[in-house]
Structure 1
Amino acid sequence: MRDQLKPETGQPPAVPAQRRPPPGGADPNDGEESDGVAGQVAERLAYLDAATRRINSALDLASTLRNLCRVLVPALADGAVVHLREPLPNVERDPGCPTRLRIHHSHGTRLGRRSGAGPSTPVPPDGALCRAMLSRDPVEPAVIGTSTDARIRPLLRELYGSRTAGRLTAGTSVLALPLRGRKAVLGLLVLIRRPPKGAAGGVEEPGPTGPTEPVDGPALAAGPADPAGAGDPDGRGHGRFDPADTATASHLATQAGLAVDTALRYSREWEIADELQRSMLPTHLPQPHGVRLAHRYLPGERGAQVGGDWYDAVPLPGNRVALIVGDVMGHSLTSAAIMGQLRTSAQTLAALDLPPHEVLYHLDEQAQRLGREQHLATCVYAVYDPIANRVVLANAGHVPPVLVQPDGRADLLDLPSGAPIGVGGIDFSSVELPAPPGSALLLFTDGLVETRRRPISTGLELLRARLATSHRHSPEHLCQDALRILPPGDRGDDIALLAASFDGIPAEDVAHWYLQPRHETPGRARRLAAHTLRRWGLEHLTESTELMVSELVTNAVQHATRPVTLSMVRTSRLRCEVGDDSPLLPRRRRAAPDEERGRGLQIVARCADRWGATRLGAGKVVWFEQRLP
């Protein structure tokens, strides 16, 4: 059936008035009447079709309620108030009658504005309000000042207070319709029709013609005249609800209850996915020496499902750091879960100290095992070396990062784009670039540069130009400046940023040697370490450092088949690393009194402030750190 929404307002057409036969028998124009009735039925069905689609067109609660009120007023009623239970229920179970109701939206009426009222209304368990919401009997309208007054007045008093309920104009027609979800009563919809202008008890002055905003705090005072205040622009009022109107309203209330239920389920799923995603993202990044890091994560608008953007930083041997930003394609709870799996895999692969292109290759294999079609992701993986002042990057279908030079020039890095992770059969390439002290790197996801109204190429150029003119290269400032290119309004996609400011480590604070795996090598390592400490003015650490270096080099010589590496780096700490080509990690254990071996790591653990071992792609590194005064 074609869309019956009015193009100029987006509203459904007005409900046709029901035509009644004249008194005294048959209508001489009964053929015309039949045609007229058929036309009215067709118009009402068209209204129901358009209104139902409008009510179900949104997934968030606020839009659903706003759409509901707009299709009802003024097409079917002069005013509408939506009450939902407080707190909103878990829609997977039936919590029975609510104990409190809260006004979530009103349109065309002042009924929802009570003097001195709080944000919610208590619901007596044996009152008219509870009975109306739990009843399965057909809903019947009531008219103020008639025999049906006694049926509706107690409900209105419980909802709006005795003063407001007592001031309703005679002839006002009221419909109270429960909003039922799939497993729970979610609230109540109250519809108001004023008597026609000039009718007995009618009100000459119309009420407000526009919608009121959702009531989030104490309500405003009721107006001085008719508290039902119509939304009918000409002030005439619709008159009473007839059976056809009641059936139409009941159908729309049923649709609204299901739509509210869907919105609550969607909101809960969104919250779970958002919480899951945030729990899998790092709250604090490591701060290795020679580089400063900052990050931002901004979820998409509430109407958009949670995405799979992630960022990470992993310390590597040699004071290097791996910088990672990725984006799982799609928006769902599954995307967030896959993001967590890929992030964990990336951390594991980074700890092996593999080249960036090999990390992406193994991530691609992992994604294919998870499912090729549903688990595609883009990713940029970079490794920064503060000693060599170099950065190595590989890209898997991701937006290019921006490298800001010390002189302020900003460049979009022209990396081999590769294919997204999960496609399979694609070779990735690494690119090595200079990263002098004072430069900075910004990794980000496409939500930063691509919007509904702006193509990604325009967004990339805006970002590059913005960072080129910022003159502030601290990571926090880079994140702030990058986010300033976002246009106002809601975002359709989430955004992840990872900014790194490269400070480097001076060459005079680094010492590195290759040592042949011989019996005399531990002694030579002790002498090299002692000489370096004297050059750095750290003689007070000589004894402990010589002892730990000797133990680690001795262990490396026993297992190595290639030269052993010894590195010393001075920052705010003294860090020593010993590497060999054996993949076997040393294990700390308690040696028996008569054993000659097994005490090396005990000594390191007692003397060092921190120590550890990392398995690499070809061997391992054992390291320890000592604080400097």
Structure 2
Amino acid sequence: MTEQPTSHEGRQPLAARPQERTRPRSEATGGSSVPPPAGPPQDLAGTARREGDRLRFVGAATRRIARGIDLDEIVLGLCRATVPTFSDAILVYLRSPLPVGDERPVSPFVLRLRRTDRLRLAGEDSDPGTVPLPVVDPQTDLMPAAELCEVRSGGALSEVLRGVRPVFGDSAAARAALPELLGADRTVPSGHRAILAPLRGRRRVIGAAVFLRRPDRPAFEPNDLLVAAQLATHTALGIDKAVLYGREAYIADELQRTMLPDSLPQPTGVRLASRYLPAAETARVGGDWYDAIPLPGSRVALVVGDVMGHSMTSAAIMGQLRTTAQTLAGLDLPPQEVLHHLDEQAQRLGTDRMATCLYAVYDPVSHRITIANAGHPPPILLHLGGRAEVLRVPPGAPIGVGGVDFEAVELDAPAGATLLLYTDGLVESRLRDVWTGIEQLRERLAATAQLTGPDHSPPLEALCDDVLDVLGPGDRDDDIALLAARFDGIAPSDVAYWFLEPEDAAPGRARRLARRALTRWGLEELSDSVELLVSEVVTNAVRYAERPVTLRLLRTDVLRCEVGDDSPQLPRQRRARDTDEGGRGLFLVNRLARRWGATRLSTGKVVWFELPTPA
């Protein structure tokens, strides 16, 4: 955490009571712990009244400090609670860096002056009528101070901090420690009164606070040391908890974000965009996730899910379900089968491990999309003309319920349309039910599309940003995962598809068919490379296949060739010996193709390669 230096000063306090102003200085400075002799009844009443005011101040100040959640809020709460009521200025020094938990801090350690009033807008406070706080320059104002201070072992400042108890600024210990804290050439200005209070957390001293009063204020009393000790203790314990919570929240947030994809793939025929928003700063750990998984045949699987709850457990379950979904997608299972296996996995993870999930597979060649739903909000399809449609997909039961079947539907996915997948945090809140939110989202999408005209689709990234604006201020109670897919598709004229019988003549026929397709597309200069690679891949497929072999060519920004057969055994590249008659096919594919790969399917496998097309 990078820390800003902090000091604090407020207005002149209200006038002190006459009893406080007429108190002799020798008594006010607290040089003796013996209380003054009892006086007339009115003096006893005044003392009781002052003690009651002091107790009420301590109660209000500690409550204000305790309201802070993060480090800056706690230090700012201490500053605003004490200035100008208790002191005219305050300096707060904290370790740099602050130790977290049980870690061993470095020694000697460094104290850094903090200035939280510069980290907030003036007057920003939850209490009505609060006076805006001025910005104080510690170099020129009431309390000059150094930005950094090294606490040397055995030094005067080290001894004061080790003693934990606050001390008056004119005590022998403070007179030796304050120059070490404020700087060698800086001291408390003449006539000012100070209290030096160590800040000790649960295990160690984490800083120091200096309370200062001007000469026209009553001097600090012995009981003010108890007040300073109470304020310092509450502040230090609050800082300890805030630092520990901040570290845990950071780890949890990083854990969840590492479970989400760093970037989306760029499959052929579809453009993708995504957004993820945590629920709030105080509850950043959730179970929402999204994914886009390339599949054989230029298809892509679109996944969005939401594990119930907000905790580290939810995030961990989300990570396991996402990994399971990726594995199942690699097997090229139908969407309903993927949800069925996810349901079984959630039950293996334990009881009450429930989640909603929507799994869709888009085929850019057929311009169709197959969707299965497990208790998730329905997707919305934004057509090119501006019509927004809530797709009718059987909702199904959430994952983890067990013993239920999931149903998949196949729908048209026309070119230019945009499919929006989302979690319920986008459409549901305390102020509206989920179906009202879905209708508002549909209307927002339609209105956005109307602005771009009937022949154009709104930019995908801008559309995602506009969708998030459907939420009003304070209208977000849950995480939001958003995945948008713009369907471009692949034109039928850019696809060539054949079935080849698993016989010796298949490689020669594959070469002739590929050459004709390349001539039709004007890609004759790729003929030699494509014929050679197609021949090698088809020969390998025919060797093991028992059913017809499929050959497909796709022309997009690259030329893609796919050969499928019913054998699940994946080919492996190896280095052939000089005496071997075969084993060089994949070596040639690896040398000539820009990319290649092999994917196992439920019905066999697909081997594919890509070649760049001429400019």
Please point out which of 367, 374, 378 is paired with 1:396: 374
Read off the aligned partner of 1:102 and give its amino acid letter. Answer: L
Matched positions, count: 562
1:73 and 1:108 in contact (8 A); partners too: no
Shift of 1:158: 5.1
Return the TM-score normalized by structure 1.
Answer: 0.78
Q: Counterpart in 2 of 1:480?
A: 465
Residue equivalent to 1:206: none
Q: What is the distance in 2 between the residues matched to 1:24 and 1:61? A: 44
Q: Which residue of structure 2 aligns with residue 615 of structure 1?
A: 600
Contact 2:354 2:398 in 1 (8 A): yes
How far apart are residue 377 of structure 1 and its match? Answer: 3.2
Deviation, 1:309, is 3.1
More displaced stretch, 260-269 vs 492-501:
492-501
Deviations 1:396-432 (A, max 9, x none): 3333332110111112334333343334333322222
Query: Once the 2 structures are TM-superposed, how far is the Cα of residue 53 of structure 1 from its aligned partner?
Result: 5.5
Deviations 1:190-214 (A, max 9, x none): 33456xxxxxx42xxxxxxxxxxxx
Counterpart amino acid of residue 136 in structure 1: G
Match of 2:260 in 1: 281
Q: 1:628 maps to what in 2?
A: 613
Of 591, 605, 627, the residue aligned with 2:590 is 605
Alignment partner, residue 86 of structure 1: 96
Question: Structure 1's 295 and 161: CA in aligned 2 closer, same or farther, altered over 3 A?
Answer: same
Cα distance in 1 for residues equivalent to 2:257 and 2:412: 33
In structure 1, what is the Cα distance between the partners aligned to 2:291 and 2:379? Answer: 15
Residues 578 and 623 in structure 1, CA contact (< 8 A), matched pair in contact too: yes
Q: Which runs of 5+ in 2 are unaligned?
A: 1-16, 21-26, 28-33, 118-131
Cα distance in 1 for residues equivalent to 2:593 and 2:613: 12
Per-residue deviation, 1:269: 1.8
Residue 510 of structure 2 aligns with an amino acid whose one-letter code is A
Residue equivalent to 1:211: none
Match of 2:519 in 1: 534
Match 2:109 to one of 69, 80, 98? 98
User: Which residue of the other structure, out of 109, 124, 139, is the alignment partner of 2:166?
Assistant: 139
CA-atom RMSD in angstroms = 3.9
Deviation at 1:619, TM superposition (A): 1.3
C-alpha distance 125-339 of structure 1, shift in aligned 2 (>3 A): same
Give the superposition deviation at 1:59: 3.3
Structure 2: distance between partners of 1:559 and 1:181: 71
Distance 1:79 1:430, change over 3 A: farther
Displacement after TM superposition at 1:594 (Å):
4.1
The amino acid that maps onto 1:346 is A
1:465 to 443, 448, 451: 443
Structure 2 counterpart of 1:60, from 59, 66, 70: 70
Aligned with 2:243 (options 260, 264, 281): 264
Q: Look up the equivalent residue of 1:413 and give its one-letter code.
A: L
Aligned partner of residue 123 in structure 1, secondary structure: strand
Matching residue of 1:249:
228
What is the match of residue 317 of structure 1? 296
Q: Which amino acid aligns with 2:365?
A: I
Q: State the partner residue of 1:381.
A: 359
Q: For the Cα contact (< 8 Å) 2:145–2:183, is it kept in 1?
A: no
Change (3 A) 1:336 1:544: same
AA of the residue aligned to 2:152: P
SS of the residue corresponding to residue 284 of structure 2 reads: coil
1:548-627 equivalences under 5 Å are 548-627=533-612
SS of residue in 2 equivalent to 1:485: coil
Which moved further from structure 2: 246-255 or 68-77?
A: 68-77
Q: Which residue of 1 aligns with 2:420?
A: 442
Structure-1 separation of matches of 2:66 and 2:532: 73
The CA distance in 2 between the partners of 1:22 and 1:252, in whole Å, is 23
Shift of 1:137: 4.9
Q: CA–CA distance in 2 between the matches of 1:85 and 1:491?
A: 36
Q: 2:124 maps to which residue? A: none
**What SS is found at the alignment partner of 1:114?**
coil
Residues 310-353 of structure 1 show CA distances to partners (whole Å, capped at 9, x for unaligned) of 32211111111112223333444444444333322222211211
Tell me if structure 1 keeps the 8 A contact 2:568–2:603: yes
Structure 1 position 114 matched with structure 2 position 130: no
Q: 1:479 and 1:129 mapped to 2: Cα distance?
A: 60
**Could you list the per-position Cα deviations for residues 568-618 of structure 1 after superposition, in whole angstroms to 9, with x for gaps in the alignment?**
111121111111222111122233444444333233223322211001122
Residues 183 and 623 from structure 1, CA distance in 2 versus in 1: closer, same or farther, beyond 3 angstroms?
Answer: same
Distance 1:97 1:599, change over 3 A: closer
Q: Measured at CA, do residues 40 and 616 of structure 1 come closer, stay the same or move farther in structure 2, by a change above 3 Å?
A: farther
Which residue number in structure 1 is paired with residue 506 of structure 2?
521
| Alignment correspondent of 1:347 | 326
| C-alpha displacement of 1:57 | 4.3
CA drift of 1:182 comes to 2.9
Question: What amino acid does structure 2 have at the position aligned with 1:130?
Answer: L
Note the alpha carbon deviations across 1:425-472, whole angstroms, 9 max, x for none.
333222222110110112233343445656544543333222212234
SS in 2 for 1:437: coil
For 1:590, what is the secondary structure of its paired residue? coil
In structure 2, the residue corresponding to 1:62 is in which secondary structure?
helix
Distance 1:379 1:557 in 2: 39
SS of alignment partner, residue 109 of structure 2:
coil
Q: Which has the larger displacement, 182-191 or 66-75?
A: 66-75
**Residue type at the aligned position of 2:140:** S
> Quick one: distance in 2 between partners of 1:484 and 1:298?
12
Change (3 A) 1:366 1:619: same
After the TM superposition, which of the residue ranges 482-491 and 512-521 deviates more from structure 2? 482-491
Cα distance in 2 for partners of 1:298, 1:430 equals 29
Q: Judging changes above 3 Å, is the alpha-carbon distance between structure 1 residues 126 and 72 closer, same or farther for their aligned structure 2 residues? A: same
**CA 450–264 in structure 1, closer or farther in 2 if over 3 Å, else same:** farther
| In structure 2, C-alpha distance between the alignment counterparts of 1:359 and 1:605, rounded to whole Å | 32
Measure the CA separation in 2 of the matches of 1:56 and 1:151: 30
Distance in 1, Cα, partners of 2:60 & 2:41 = 35
Equivalent of 2:196 in 166, 171, 176? 176
Structure 2 SS opposite 1:579 = strand
Determine the C-alpha separation between the residues in 1 that align with 2:302 and 2:555. Answer: 23
Distance 1:137 1:410, change over 3 A: closer
Query: For residues 544 and 24 of structure 1, what CA distance do their matches in structure 2 show?
Result: 108
Letter of the 1:547 counterpart:
L
Secondary structure of the structure 2 residue equivalent to 1:99: strand
In structure 1, what is the Cα distance between the partners aligned to 2:219 and 2:80?
A: 20
CA displacement, residues 142-188 of structure 1 (integer Å, 9 cap, x when unaligned): 4xxxxx366545655555569985546x3x54332222223342222
Query: Which range is displaced more, 435-444 or 148-157?
Result: 148-157
Confirm or deny: 8 A CA contact 1:313 1:323 kept in the other structure.
Answer: yes
**Structure 1 gaps, min length 5:** 1-15, 143-147, 195-200, 203-236
Provide the residue aligned with 2:400 in structure 1.
422
**Secondary structure, aligned partner of 1:135:** helix
Deviation for aligned residue 1:67: 3.4
Aligned equivalents of 1:418, 1:533: Cα separation in 2 = 46
Distance 1:27 1:166, change over 3 A: closer
SS of equivalent residue, structure 1 residue 443:
strand
The one-letter amino acid of 1:354's match is: L
